[in-house]
Amino acid sequence: MRNDQRALVLAGGGITGIAWELGMIAGLAELGVDLSAADLVIGTSAGSVAGAQLRSCTPIDRLYAEQLREVRGEAPAHPGRRTLLRRALIGITPGTRTKTRRRIGRAALATRTVPESDRRTVIESRLPERTWPQQPFKVTAVDAATGEFVVFDNDSGVPLVDAVGASCAVPMVWPPVTIRGRRYIDGAVRSWANADLAEGYDRVVVLAPFTAVLRRGGRVQSQLDGLGPQVRKAVIVPDANTRRAMGSNPFDPAFRSDAAKAGRSQARLVRDTVAVAWGEPPR
């Protein structure tokens, strides 16, 4: 009987990130490494969508197949250079991390985007089920007004669609999400992965669509280091071939299918690394 507690961390990365994560999970399952058996799934931004899908009753092969179908009802977002520069300048302005998140939140609240109701319809279409799973699942977000980091789960009393929508509300790209009179933005504003939520778990696997999470001294790496040396950990990011397949714009659904296929293919290359961290025998 297994005693180790295992956490799967799904990081942010746009619509192509969702596809890559699901492709990776499907590919690993075919190779005998079942990440869906996680005792806890932590989802941030794109990872909240992939996590909600994984925690649904839908088999992983069907979730993967869905990523290969023509995308309907999702318009690509093309953040302009001014938006990206503004985000960067806000991020490097001196102040505490909470103050920085608050500044980003104010910018998000002031930016004109698509109507919140339209975006909610898109999020609903991504979820096979609209109710929280019984298995532990945490979704991250940030209060746009206060900069406070928030974690939603089955005990929060917040609809799953709203929690996932909040986690996916990329500042100045998509509208903040209203929950109980508060407005929330992307959990990735705090951290791409929020891997520190896996504290107390013995084995942790992180799937991160952006290679920047591996930057030495970065926040995600610091979070993983903080889990302790006794924790078996693996961080998987797209390789060069996968990055090309995913394209340069993570918000462009035209690359969803290629991203999913690339994730499934890359699974063969990382299978043993993930297996060791997950407690499965190597090939």
* Chain center to CA of 126: 14
Cα–Cα distance for residue pair 56/17, rounded to 1 Å: 19
Of 37, 42, 45, the C-alpha closest to 196 is 42
Cβ density class 4-36: b for 16+ within 10 Å, e for less: eebbbbbbbbbbbbbbbbbbbbbbbbebebebb
Cα–Cα distance for residue pair 13/46, rounded to 1 Å: 5
Q: At what angle do helices 46-54 and 160-167 cross, to 10 degrees?
A: 150
pLDDT tens for 165-203 read 999 999 999 999 999 999 999 999 999 999 999 999 999
Number of residues written out for the chain: 283
Of 36, 39, 9, 67, the C-alpha closest to 209 is 9
Q: Residue 89's pLDDT band (boundaries 50, 70, 90)?
A: very low
pLDDT tens for 241-264 read 999 999 999 999 999 999 999 999
pLDDT reported for residue 96: 74
pLDDT tens for 123-141 read 999 999 999 999 999 999 9
The structure tokens listed for 153 are 């789960």
Q: Over 70: is that where the pLDDT of 80 sits?
A: no
Number of Cα atoms under 13 Å in the Cβ half of residue 19: 29
Q: What is the pTM of this model?
A: 0.93
pLDDT tens for 203-223 read 999 999 988 777 765 688 899
Residue 151, strand partner residues: 140
Q: What percent of the chain has pLDDT over 90?
A: 82
Q: Over 80: is that where the pLDDT of 82 sits?
A: no
Look up residue 12 and give its amino acid. G
Structure-token match 């009393």, residue found: 157
Of 162, 154, 212, the C-alpha closest to 188 is 212
Number of Cα atoms under 13 Å in the Cβ half of residue 147: 13
Q: How far is CA 116 from CA 121, 123, 165, 166, 177, in A?
A: 9, 11, 10, 10, 7
Cα–Cα distance for residue pair 222/227, rounded to 1 Å: 9
Cα–Cα distance for residue pair 116/178, rounded to 1 Å: 8
Q: How far is CA 258 from CA 88, 183, 189, 196, 255, in A?
A: 29, 34, 27, 31, 5
Span 13-35, average pLDDT: 97
